[in-house]
Structure 1
C-alpha cells in the first residue's frame, strides 16, 4: 500500500476506524515518517525533526506492539487504505497518534482518540495519558486532555520538548 495519497477531492473521502491488521504495518510506518517529516517542521527545527524521526523502530514494531497487547486503531479511507492511527497501551498510555499529511484537519485525530478511550475503558484504565508534540497538543486538549507539564528532553544530543497530558476516565 502506498501512502502517497492524492490530495484531489480528499474532502469527499469517507473514513472509517478499524483495528490494525498485519498488512498495515508498512503503511503505518510510512504515515509516521511522513507526518514527522512534513508536519513536524511547522513547530520543530530540522535537527529536532531528524532526531524525532530517528527514534522510529520501523514496520515490525507495530506487530510487536499488538503481540504485547497494545491496541492500534487505524483510520482508513473508502478504499480501506490506512491514513492515520493511534496506538494505545492497556494502561491508557497513548503512545502514537499520527495522520498522513494529506488527511489532517478532518476530525480523524479526534475520532482516533475516541477509539483509544473506548479501548482504555474496556481495559479498566483509570486515565489516558500521553506526551504530545506542540502540533498534537491542541487535538488532545479538544479531546478533554489537560496538560500537566512540559517535558524537556534530549534525543541524540538534540534538545526537544513535548507536553505530558492526561484525561481521567472516572
Structure 2
C-alpha cells in the first residue's frame, strides 16, 4: 500500500480520533493493564478537540493511505511539544511513525525550534528512540477515572535540533 505524508486537512478530525482510540485499545494492553488502558483512552480528545487544537496553532502531520484516509499522525505544538504520535493498528510496522515524526521535525527546524519534547508511552518510546529522542526520566502519575485513581507511567523524552 502507498502512503503519503501530508498536513492535516478539514475532515481529518474524525479519522484522527478513531486512530487514537483504536491504537490505545489494540496496542495499549501490550504494556498496560486494562484499567490503565481505559483511563488513558478516556483522556483523549474527540474530533472537535482536534479541530480546536489546529485552530489554536497546533500542526498535525498525517500519514494517509492511497485513498487519502489518515492512518497515522503526529501533533506538534508551537513550542516543540510533540503531543501525539498514533498509528492505526492495521497500519503498524510500515515506518509511518518515523515518517510523521520526521515531518514534525522538518517543520520545527524550519521554524527555528531548538528542541522537541514529548511524554511517550511505553509503546511509543521505541519509535521516539529510533527518531533520535532520548529519555530524560520516567514519569509515574495517576489518572482519575470513574472515581478511581489509576497509576500509570510514560517517559519524558527530548531531541535537540540545534
Range of TM-score over shorter length: over 0.9
TM-score, normalised relative to structure 1: 0.91
Report the CA distance between 1:57 and its aligned residue.
2.5
1:105 equivalent to 2:97? Answer no
Which of 99, 102, 123 is equivalent to 1:114?
Answer: 102
Q: Does 1:36 align with 2:28?
A: no
Q: Which residue of 2 aligns with 1:128?
A: 116
User: Is 1:20 matched with 2:12?
Assistant: no
Give the Cα–Cα distance (whole angstroms) in 2 for the partners of residues 67 and 124 of structure 1: 21
Which structure carries more strand by proportion? 2
1:160 to 133, 148, 152: 152
Extract unaligned runs of 5+ from structure 1: 1-12
Q: Give runs of ≥4 in structure 1 deviating > 2 Å.
A: none
Correspondent of 1:81 among 69, 72, 83: 69
Distance 1:47 1:119 in 2: 36
Determine the C-alpha separation between the residues in 2 that align with 1:79 and 1:47. Answer: 35
Give the TM-score of the pair, scaled to structure 2. Answer: 0.96
- Three-state SS of the structure 1 residue aligned to 2:132 is coil
The Cα offsets for residues 81-116 of structure 1, whole Å up to 9 and x where unpaired, read as: 110110001111000000000101110000011001
- Paired residue total: 158
Q: 1:23-45 CA deviation, whole Å, 9 max, x = no partner? A: 01001000000000001000000
In the alignment, is the contact (CA less than 8 A) between 1:126 and 1:168 conserved in 2? yes
Deviation at 1:122, TM superposition (A): 2.3
CA-CA distance at 1:123 after TM superposition: 2.2
Work out whether 1:57 is the aligned partner of 2:45: yes
Shift of 1:65: 0.8
Counterpart of 2:55 (choices 33, 58, 67) is 67
Q: Which residue of 2 aligns with 1:46?
A: 34
Which runs of 5 or more residues in structure 2 are unaligned? Answer: none
